[in-house]
Each structure stands twice: as structure tokens, then as C-alpha cells.
Amino acid sequence: MKQSLARWLLRTLGWRIEGERPGHDRYVLIAAPHTSNWDLPLMLAFGAAFDLKITWMAKHSLFFPPLGWILRGLGGMPVYRHENRNVVDDMVEVLRSARRLVLVVPTEGTREWTEYWKSGFYHIARKAGVPIVPSFLDFGQKRGGFGPALLPSGDVITDMQYFRDFYRGMQGKFSGQFGPVRLREEDDTP
């Protein structure tokens, strides 16, 4: 019922559903472009349309009561970036210990334009030995869904080229805020 309702809602709002439900039990999900507060409810609607239970990371300051209870109920997982913790290693352990987990890791880390994506999604997937699945909300063509998974090889430039090709031409709600699809590590690689 939830899946049918989500599909109806997305169609009513004029969105086209594309791609297939990812066929993995555990993976890191990229949600891009991320330029608007509308991205979260749309991501949750697309997840429901594909019958996925999504766990998504967000800064801890969003999880104050009573909003925090609602966000946790919707799959939110607070991340305490200000503490001296290794978020990547923590998330690797979460993925390794779960039987099923779709972990959305914010690649851009902000709704604003940024020169580099945050590399946590890549390192979490590589260390946990799980694929990365690109999802998208293309406001330019009002379509959303999932692309084919990539198992990170450790060759960051080649792997990131896959994502550059995948996201080429896609627009966020505020298209000028979607920065380049690249990691800082790519500039450091000879």
C-alpha cells in the first residue's frame, strides 16, 4: 500500500520514476543533486515507491525533540561531526553488522555549491565491501530513481568518472548549487 501511494503521489506531482530497485541487501546510496530541502521528502517518496527502507545520515543538530523523533522514524541517523569520532569506521561497522541496510550518505554535505564531494560515501563502501548505488532527483526533467551499482575498486579517478557520467546533465531544484562531481583525493592522485 505504501509503495502504491508513493508512486501515485510522485506521478501526481509530475515526477517520472526511472531505474530498477537495487538488487543488493547492503549498499551505500548516493542522493544527488542535493540543492533543496525538498530533496529529503522526495528521496523518501522514491524510496517508498521502490519499497526500500532507507537509513540516511544528517547532522545531529536536526534531531532536537520533537522533530528528532519524527526524523528517526523516517530513517534518520544523526552524525556528530563535531566529536572526535571516525564516522567512516563507525558506518563501516554498521554496514558490516547489518543483514539489510540502505545507507544514504550525503556526498555534497550541503545544499550549497561546493567544489568537492565529501569522500565518506566512497570510503565507507570500499571498506565495508559493499556497492555504491547512485540515486537521483533530476528537477530539470522531473525524474528520479536509481542507477546501476558500482563496487568501488580503489581507483578513485576511474570510479568517480562513473558517477560524473551518471550525473552529467542532471539538475537539482536550484541548478546553480550543484557543484562538480569530484573528490579532493582526485586532485592528490598522480
Of 148, 140, 130, 131, the closest CA to residue 19 belongs to 148
Cα 121 → chain centroid: 8
pLDDT tens-digit map of 14-66: 999 999 999 999 999 998 888 898 999 999 999 999 999 999 988 889 899 99
pLDDT tens-digit map of 85-140: 788 999 999 999 999 999 998 788 777 788 899 899 999 999 999 999 999 999 99
Record the pTM. 0.91
Q: Which residues pair with 18 in a beta bridge?
A: 145
Cα gap 59→87, rounded to integer Å: 12
